[in-house]
Amino acid sequence: MRRLEGQRVLVTGAAGGMGRAHCIRLAQEGASVIALDVAEAASALEETAQAVRELGVVAVTGSADIRDFDTLAEVVADCVKTVGGLDVVVANAGVYDTPGPVWTIDPAIWNRSLDVNLTGAWHTVKACVPHFRDGGSVILVSSTAGIKGIAGAGHYSAAKHAVVGLSRTLANELGAQSIRVNSVHPGSVRTPMIINEKVFANLCPGIENPTEADAAAVLSARNLLPVPWVDPVDVSNAVLFLASSESRYMTGCQLVIDAGLTQKV
């Protein structure tokens, strides 16, 4: 029997990157999927849903900006009604905006980072928890930037550290209802958030027009294992573990998938 047979899962930021990978991996284990993302990503979101349906399970989509609680709550309620319930929530949606020293960050960039990465995660849980009936699993996607300070990413690191505090608090508040709450902490992941020219330039300031290979060399040097990044499915496997009964007595925990980034001295 598949590990999530009969379960209903909701994933935010599902149109691509890690969100799409989570949807597909959980669907491979039998879960019905509610895939959410912003309206501008509707076409890509439908591609995610189609990939899930090809695995023989139900997929429904919903458009909402996680910063807008009222709309999000309405969309969640409609989607949960369609699939018949909710068992797992993966608060995955996030942004990594223009990097730079903390004192140079534009207030609008700072606020967007906290609004999406932190308040959006809170909104997601707030909209979803009332739909749990027989316990459940909440998985908040943080980052290695939620474990150690990352120079040049104070806005992102502050938000992702706060996600850990949110996760631990929710674990205390929801445990009596048999709802587990944990966070996952990816290092660099091979998604468009990392694989883009702006990030390459930030990683390689001494190189004109740096390539993916240049960035990979810099990132590899930061890890204990000789790789520059993990693949989205590596994070999805951790999400699957936390969603399944295999982790039934884990709550308030931080699961790190970073090729040794946070342990390297």
Catalytic residue positions, numbered: 156
Determine contact, residues 47/70, Cβ cutoff 8 Å.
Answer: no
Find the length of the chain. 265
Q: Pull the structure tokens for residue 167.
A: 């996760």
Query: Which of 250, 190, 12 minimizes the C-alpha distance to 117?
Result: 12
Alpha-carbon gap, residue 146 to 162, rounded angstroms: 7
Which residue type does 265 have?
V
Determine contact, residues 9/90, Cβ cutoff 8 Å.
Answer: yes
Helical packing angle, 154-174 and 107-114, nearest 10°: 20
User: Rounded to a whole number, what is the distance in angstroms from the first to the last CA of the chain?
Assistant: 42
